[in-house]
Structure 1
Amino acid sequence: MTNTILPLVAFDIETVPLFTAPEQAPDYVQKAFANSTTTDWNDYAPFHAHTAKIVAIAFARRKGNEIITKTIYSDTEKDLLTEAQSILEKLHQKAILTGHYINLFDIPMLVRRMIIHNIKPPTIINPLATKPWDAPTFDTYDAWRLHSRNSTSLDTLCHMLQIPSPKNQIDGSMVHDLWNQGQHQQVADYCGRDAEAALLVAEKLRHLLLM
């Protein structure tokens, strides 16, 4: 089986900091933050497995002319990850996971948070359980970068490819506050829109680059 015949399933995650400020975190977290290249906690905390938790995960796939989206969300991360593990395990060798920046953020974060909760990462995202030539992912960030040093956001890519951007009302910087305000459904909806946009981008790039 190859990437060109397996269907695409786009996914996206949303994270929030485990601690509202570094002073509230354990010593080892404070030390890691102090040794980082940023001094802004809000720029650091959501992107590391020792400072963030996953609160929403969205999956988007095509069925004929329709995009089917499933979004799961919870403030209890272990329950969320257990459900995600079940969904992802069923996709192994049946779909290609796609998304924007998933190889450098979404997948590593998901695997690490699962391990922290003693959940076995599903085969499709487990780098030690998948043969390199199986190529179970198609990252739109990497596909557009084309081995250059250019960094392009999903929002920018959508505009260039004339695909509706999911960032018109909410962007990632707003997720933490919305979640803490109890706007969980709004965060989940935003996560779903990200997955849908990533699917449309991936379909276009795969068609023009690989097929």
Structure 2
Amino acid sequence: MIKRINLEHILFLDIETVPQHQYFEELDDSSKMLWEVKSQYQRRDDFTAEEFYDRAGIWAEFGKIVCISVGYFVLKGDIRNFRVTSFHGDEKTILKEFKALLEIHFNKPHHLICAHNGKEFDFPYIARRMIINGIDIPFKLDLFGKKPWEVPHLDTLELWKFGDFKTFTSLKLLAHVLGIPSPKDDIDGNQVRSVFYEENDIDRIITYCEKDAVTMAQIFLRLRNEEILSESEILSV
């Protein structure tokens, strides 16, 4: 079934998120209280709410998106290219530009969006942040009233599960077992906050995010038992 999907119909994407504020003290009193309640189960008694705040980026209610990287295949005869681009800047601009991409270039019923653990993280996170920023959700992210087979979402984690509900396999591990060069050769997800707030190095985050988008495409090719992309086939646009 996966081999029947036209590669040019898929938009691969990855997002990078950080806490909305650099420091816990910058939250208003209501937000501090709500964060303490929201994070209580995760941190238990090991950390105070303030000590745990550096992980706030994983929740759309307390985090924000600082980069969305996308990649797509362009096939012309025997020539295969994978083009990667990123949206960054203030969050509202990122979300508006990403929405425009979906509505202009990936707006057909056969178009799909793909992320690793996207159904649990990337897709709902983007939709929630759009609502918070007063942006209408594009059709590709609006699941209301859709039947399961009408949802235009692919998830490389779900594809790797093969129906197993217990398994979580990270992008790094999946790339490793499939013989794909590791995307995590610089920073890792838990370092994005410090790179953004302390180093102010958005370019480093963009590079990291784009590598993940490329790795997802490589994994998708391996799941189809096809040759992975060479460096010469990957273009940053």
What TM-score, normalized to structure 2? Answer: 0.79
- Mapping of 1:18-167 within 5 angstroms? 18-25=20-27, 26=31, 27-33=33-39, 35-38=40-43, 39=47, 41=52, 44-64=55-75, 65-74=80-89, 76-90=90-104, 91-92=106-107, 93-128=109-144, 130-148=146-164, 149-167=166-184
Number of aligned residue pairs: 204
**Structure 1 Cα separation of the partners of residues 100 and 119 of structure 2:** 20
Structure 1 residues 103 and 111: alpha-carbon distance in aligned structure 2, compared to 1, 3 A threshold: same
Q: Note the C-alpha offset of 1:108.
A: 0.7
Gaps of 5+ in 1: none
Show the counterpart of 1:202: 220
2:12/2:70 contact within 8 Å kept: yes
Identity of aligned residues (%): 29
Q: CA RMSD in A?
A: 2.0
Q: Note the C-alpha offset of 1:56.
A: 0.1
**Structure 2 Cα separation of the partners of residues 141 and 22 of structure 1:** 32
Show the counterpart of 2:4: 4
Q: Note the C-alpha offset of 1:5.
A: 3.5
Partner SS, residue 102 of structure 1 = coil
Q: Supply the AA of the counterpart residue of 1:18.
A: Q
Larger radius of gyration: 2
2:19/2:54 contact within 8 Å kept: no
Structure 1 residues 130 and 85: alpha-carbon distance in aligned structure 2, compared to 1, 3 A threshold: farther
1:12/1:58 contact within 8 Å kept: yes
Q: Note the C-alpha offset of 1:112.
A: 0.3
**Which shifted more, 65-74 or 23-32?**
23-32
What TM-score, normalized to structure 1? Answer: 0.88
Partner SS, residue 42 of structure 2 = coil
Q: Note the C-alpha offset of 1:50.
A: 1.4
Structure 1 residues 175 and 44: alpha-carbon distance in aligned structure 2, compared to 1, 3 A threshold: closer
